[in-house]
Copies of this chain bind each other. A is one copy, B any other.
Amino acid sequence: MTNTLVVSAHPEPKSFTHAWARATVDAARGFGEVQTSDLYAMGFDPAERAELYGHEGRFDPLRVQEEAVAAGSLPADLAAEVAKIRAADLLVLHFPIWWFGAPAMLKGWIDRALVHGALHLVEERFEKGPCIGKRALICCSTGCRAAECGPDGREGDLRLQLWPLAHALRYCGFTVLAPECVHEVHGYHEAPTRDAFAARIAGVLDGQGALLDGLGDRPVWASNPAGDFDALGRLLPGAPVLSPFIRHP
């Protein structure tokens, strides 16, 4: 049995993002418990700041987060997100790519819900992170063509656009799977043939069950493990280059 947490971030309930997230929820119910965090529907506050903690004095987010965990005084919305993440075996993130990355709403969830002192500590990160053994799958969409998000694409490689998010999850210990992306989500390039567009989108939704069923065979998004770096955080000479965006000097 797999406990799945589905986090979604799109301001339009009728968007493709939410239709796809619902397909994930429906499919995940077939193999265990499902939790959801529909960030816009929850009114999640993405802007980390002192007043959310009732904190007075200088606000150092990492310190205040850690102190709140130790004192058991984490804001209720963050405590709930931490509990969901701890209970989950699989995290599935659904969002549109805006400006070559996650929308601010989802970035705010990363900034706030990946609480320091709960889901990462200086001595517990990457392969020692609290989320070791959990898997994460990014399901995103773009309005552009797939070619524009290729390694030679004008918009930048999809993995370049998703890299900060993936690395944040890895930092907490998640195993990040190869992302799933639906391009041309507005169907502009298929405009003369709306039926073809509708059929393509329906195929994505109908196929989500099979996609989740196949996660065991899905490649992991390669990156160098912490052991490949020296005490200053530099790739050791002779270590293989596993991450697509790292290189020996």
Q: Which of A29-37, A42-50, A196-204, A211-219 contacts B (4 or more CB under 8 A)?
A: A42-50
Are the CB atoms of A145 and B11 closer together than 8 Å? no
**Chain B residue at minimal CB-CB distance from A160:** B245
- Interface flags, A154-168, vs B, CB<8A=1, else 0: 111100110110011
Give the docked Cα–Cα distance between A105 and B234 (Å): 30
Contacts of A249 in B (CB 8 A): 150-152
Say which residue of B50, B105, B164 sits within 8 Å of A161 (CB atoms). B164
Are the CB atoms of A168 and B58 closer together than 8 Å? no
Say which residue of B110, B152, B245 sits within 8 Å of A235 (CB atoms). B152
For this chain, the copies found in one complex come to: 2
Q: Interface residues of A toward B: which range?
A: 35 or more
- Identify which of A59, A60, A101 gathers the most chain B CB atoms within 10 Å of its CB: A101
Main secondary structure of the interface of A (DSSP, over half): loop
Are the CB atoms of B11 and A100 closer together than 8 Å? no
Query: Does residue A153 face the partner (Cβ distance < 8 Å to B)?
Result: yes
Are the CB atoms of B110 and A154 closer together than 8 Å? no
Shortest CB-to-CB span from A169 to chain B, Å, is 10
Known: A62-B143, A144-B233, A154-B233. 5 other contacts (CB 8 A): A11-B49, A61-B98, A151-B247, A152-B248, A156-B163
